[in-house]
Homo-oligomer: A and B are copies of this chain.
Amino acid sequence: MIEAVVFDAYGTLFDVNSVIDACEQLYPGKGTFISQTWRQKQLEYTWLRALMNRFVDFEAINRDSLRFSLNKLKLEFSEDTIEKLTAAYLNLTPYPEVVDALNAFQPRQLLILSNGTSKMLHIVVENAGLESYFTAILSVDALKTYKPNPQVYQLAVTKLGISKEKVLFLSSNGWDVAGSKSFGFTVGWINRTGNPIEELGVQPDYQVQDLLELAHLISR
C-alpha cells in the first residue's frame, strides 16, 4: 500500500545534536545547552516567520536563532562565530540506523521534505554519502513558508502524483508528525527520545524508536 517514503531531514535522518561538538569547542561546558536553545529558537522562528508572512530562508533562520540564543545565554560572539557554528549544520551525522533503514525501505521511492534550503540539504546529504538513495530532495524555498503549513506537505504529493495515504511520512518531530497527519499522509513518528505525544488533535499511524523498526513494520 505504501508507494513512497518521505523523510523529514533535521532530527529524523540527521542528528541536530551533532552541532554540540562545534559549540563545545567554542564554549566549553555549554555545548548541549547552546544546541538545545538554538534548535528550539530555530523552530520558533520558522513558525513565526511563516505566520507573519515574513519569510527568510533557513540559512538566515539558522543564523538569527543562533544570534538570539547566544545573546540569551549572555555569551560573547563575532560574525565569524556565527558562520563557524551554522556551518556545522552542513556536516550533521546521520543516525546509526539510517543506511540500513533506507536499504530496507527500497525499492519504494524515497524523498526528503525539509525546511532547509535546497543548497543546505544537498550538501548535508552529500557529506553523509546518502545522495544515491533519494529520488528527490524537496525544500520549502520555492513556497516561502514553513512546516506545518499544509502547502509544504503538498509539495511531495505534487512531485509524486500519488494519493496522500500511499505516502508514508516520517519525522522525529512531534509537531511535524501532527502537521503531516493533519494534511492526510500515512505518518510514522520516530520517537527517538521517549517524548509524550503532542496534544494537537491528531495521532500518527505508527510510533517507533528508530527508522529501521518502522521499515520492518511496513515490510511485514
By secondary structure, the A interface counts as: helix
Q: Are A64 and B178 in contact (CB under 8 A)?
A: no
Nearest chain B residue, comparing its CB with the CB of A71: B196
Q: Report which of B52, B56, B147, B149 forms a contact with A182, defined as CB distance below 8 A.
A: B52
A14 within 8 A of B: no
A54 within 8 A of B: yes
Contacts of A142 in B (CB 8 A): none
Which stretch in A25-33, A107-115, A162-170, A198-206 binds the other chain?
A: A198-206
Q: Are B51 and A179 in contact (CB under 8 A)?
A: yes
* Interfacial residues, chain A to chain B (CB-CB below 8 A): 44-45, 47-54, 56, 64-65, 67-68, 71-72, 146-150, 175, 178-179, 182, 195-202
Q: A64-B200, A198-B68 are in contact. Are A150 and B44 (CB under 8 A)?
A: no
* Closest Cβ–Cβ distance, residue A198 to chain B (whole Å): 6
Q: Are B200 and A54 in contact (CB under 8 A)?
A: yes
| Bound: A19/B54 CA distance, A | 33
| Bound: A176/B179 CA distance, A | 23
| Bound: A177/B199 CA distance, A | 27
Nearest chain B residue, comparing its CB with the CB of A61: B199
| Bound: A64/B199 CA distance, A | 5
Q: Which 8 A-B pairs have the closest CB atoms?
A: A71-B196, A64-B199, A47-B47, A68-B199, A52-B148, A52-B182, A51-B149, A67-B199
Q: Report which of B67, B148, B197, B198 forms a contact with A51, defined as CB distance below 8 A.
A: B148
Q: Are B44 and A175 in contact (CB under 8 A)?
A: yes
| Bound: A54/B201 CA distance, A | 9
